[in-house]
Amino acid sequence: MTEPLRNVELDLPLVKEGKVREVYALGGDLLLVATDRLSAFDVVLDEPIPHKGRVLTQLSLWWFARTSDIVANHLVTANADEIIERHPPLAGSRDRWEGRSMLCRETEPFPIECVVRGYITGSAWKEYRESGTLAGEPLPAGLVEAQRLDPPIFSPATKASEGHDENITFERACVTVGMAVANTLREMSLNLYRRAHDIAAEGGVILADTKFEFGVGKEGEILLIDEILTPDSSRFWLVDQYEPGHSQQSFDKQPVRDYLDLLVAKGEWNRMPPPPTLPPEVVENTSKRYLRAYELITGEAPLE
């Protein structure tokens, strides 16, 4: 087991550094490396969360295997030996990246986030409360917070390079990517959501909402890219604790959120960078919850 890493920093050309992932160029493909960084309220915290990068990557792989029959994805391999075969110098840093990395086909990403909501919460609940709509479309009156939306709703968002993504209407998505592509992305996203919702339900987990990204591959084909169906891109709730009518606990980042809320309430933090220091027990609890999320969703042996 490697130590938790805030930065993985491999000796490869860095294509992009996101809030959580480092993306490298590797022989015409991309190596996506999930660090152990955690962002909450759009601020990246200083303390790495042990095992988090591996949980995100292993969960994505688990889901890619269970959805590739309905939507083609960018995964080439996550096998460390095969990755080293492509680029032998990576053998020297294997401890740092193995388990948290996937080799993927490079695409031109579409500039929208494909969000699917099966339950009304977060920014969707805010929009509904204010205007009775979701993604600009009217919803029935009288919904309560966290209520199920059946059928689930495609609610795209722009990809903001800084700060919050902005929810947009389907019409605006059509203007951005073209009507035919928008329809395809909506269909693919809804199919993926339905499949994942049913699989998660078997483990007593509700997939409340999730975000997919798609890109165009070198042959012009549409591919599902990025991470999928992880706690960072989705809201998962426990069936046992589900209670419509108020916001639900997020079973991964909740200890961090609670701690930060407490600091804000005490006037010790204003939600702006630099982030406060997390106490070791908050880091530890959060790490346990990511590991638990993996076990609950996959039903597989613990990752630790």
Residue numbers at the binding site for ligand ATP (CB under 6 A): 16, 18-21, 23, 30, 32, 39, 74, 104-107, 109, 213, 215, 225-226
What does the alpha-carbon distance between residue 220 and residue 216 come to, in Å, rounded to a whole number? 6
- The 8 Å CB, 24+ separation contacts for 269-278 are 271/41, 271/43, 272/43, 273/43, 274/46, 275/43, 275/44, 275/45, 275/46, 277/46, 277/47, 278/45, 278/46, 278/47
Tokens read off for 145: 């917070």
Residue 6 and residue 239 in contact, taking contact as beta carbons nearer than 8 Å: no
Residue 105 half-sphere exposure toward CB, CA atoms < 13 A: 19
C-beta of 52: minimal distance to ligand ATP in Å? 12
Residue least distant from ligand ATP (Cβ): 18
Pick 107 or 298: Cβ nearer ligand ATP: 107
C-beta of 29: minimal distance to ligand ATP in Å? 9
C-beta of 47: minimal distance to ligand ATP in Å? 17
Residue 284 and residue 276 in contact, taking contact as beta carbons nearer than 8 Å: no
C-beta of 138: minimal distance to ligand ATP in Å? 30
Pick 71 or 149: Cβ nearer ligand ATP: 71
C-beta of 80: minimal distance to ligand ATP in Å? 19
What does the alpha-carbon distance between residue 154 and residue 134 come to, in Å, rounded to a whole number? 9
C-beta of 27: minimal distance to ligand ATP in Å? 14
Q: Is 32 helix (H, G, I), strand (E, B) or coil?
A: strand
Pick 157 or 207: Cβ nearer ligand ATP: 157
Pick 30 or 283: Cβ nearer ligand ATP: 30
Pick 20 or 196: Cβ nearer ligand ATP: 20
Amino acid at site 247: S
Tokens read off for 197: 């919702």
What does the alpha-carbon distance between residue 69 and residue 67 come to, in Å, rounded to a whole number? 5
Pick 25 or 238: Cβ nearer ligand ATP: 25
What does the alpha-carbon distance between residue 300 and residue 152 come to, in Å, rounded to a whole number? 28
Looking up tokens 């990755």 gives 83
Task: Give buried/exposed letters for 247-286 (b at 16+ CB in 10 A, else e).
Answer: ebebbbbebbeebbeeeeeeeebeeeeebeebeeebbebb
Pick 106 or 145: Cβ nearer ligand ATP: 106
C-beta of 143: minimal distance to ligand ATP in Å? 28
Pick 110 or 128: Cβ nearer ligand ATP: 110
Amino acid at site 68: S
C-beta of 213: minimal distance to ligand ATP in Å? 5
